[in-house]
Copies of this chain bind each other. A is one copy, B any other.
């Protein structure tokens, strides 16, 4: 077994004997911050070819080179699950993206609702958080963070075959659950701190693919609700079983 602990996401093909270049930021992290040098073992993944044990062959200030040795884990795709959430304060938005990647969402979609404060997001920064979370949690896949999109537009054109679990605060204490064994594409929708508007609520209720779910008798913050909803879904329909 390899003793390599450092895991890096690289946007480069991985395979036996493959040379993999590092960009400046990665070189700074690996050689500067983590004090690794030539010969150091590193685990690499790219979201497509699984996880590979690689060895540093060149270490420089502005870049570096690694050589792939053997595959240590096969690619494990998450279930076809999207997480839709209304961006909130910066730290909690970062947190939701981190948690979605850890919990195994395949795609992260920030949505603008009537009561959402955020007018814009920094997609690149959120994507970097998803990468970091994947590096940390041992995943071999990085969920894509989509651009901010109005919820109304998303619902108007909702894919027919994708079920939508939405966390309805009005159901607090109610007993709605997920349908047994309903596999296939899904999405989870977490509302903003102020809840959904009446218009949004009616739209969701009218959507045949939508399944309202209760998250207990207390009102959860959006970041807590995201982890709780992902847990329920993964446990009942996802890859936790």
- What separation, in Å, do the CA atoms of A227 and B175 have in the docked complex? 20
Report if A136 contacts B (CB, 8 A): yes
Known: A217-B239, A217-B240. A228 touches B103 (CB 8 A): yes
Report if A139 contacts B (CB, 8 A): yes
Number of chain A interface residues as a range? 20 to 34
Q: What sequence of 0s and 1s flags, for each residue 217-241 of chain A, a beta carbon within 8 Å of any chain B beta carbon?
A: 1111100100110111011001111
Nearest B residue to A193 by beta-carbon distance? B136
B227–A102 touching, CB < 8 Å: no
A59 nearest CB across to chain B (Å): 27
A216 nearest CB across to chain B (Å): 4
Report if A104 contacts B (CB, 8 A): yes
Report if A129 contacts B (CB, 8 A): no
A99–B218 touching, CB < 8 Å: no
Q: Which residue of B175, B218, B241 is within 8 Å of A138 (Cβ)?
A: B218
Nearest B residue to A229 by beta-carbon distance? B231
Report if A76 contacts B (CB, 8 A): yes
Nearest B residue to A227 by beta-carbon distance? B227
- What separation, in Å, do the CA atoms of A76 and B240 have in the docked complex? 32
Contact residues, A179-228 vs B (CB, 8 A): 214-221, 224, 227-228
Q: Which residue of B103, B218, B227 is within 8 Å of A218 (Cβ)?
A: B103
Report if A155 contacts B (CB, 8 A): no
A224–B175 touching, CB < 8 Å: no
- What separation, in Å, do the CA atoms of A99 and B226 have in the docked complex? 12
A104–B216 touching, CB < 8 Å: yes
- What separation, in Å, do the CA atoms of A230 and B225 have in the docked complex? 12
Report B-chain residues with C-beta under 8 Å of the C-beta of A136.
219, 221
- What separation, in Å, do the CA atoms of A214 and B220 have in the docked complex? 24
B220–A137 touching, CB < 8 Å: yes
B224–A76 touching, CB < 8 Å: no
- What separation, in Å, do the CA atoms of A232 and B215 have in the docked complex? 11
Beyond the given A76-B217, A104-B216, A217-B240, could you list 7 further A-B residue pairs with CB under 8 A, ordered by the A residue number? Answer: A103-B224, A104-B218, A138-B219, A216-B239, A224-B227, A228-B231, A231-B232
Q: Which 8 A-B pairs have the closest CB atoms?
A: A231-B231, A227-B227, A216-B240, A228-B231, A137-B218, A138-B219, A137-B219, A139-B218
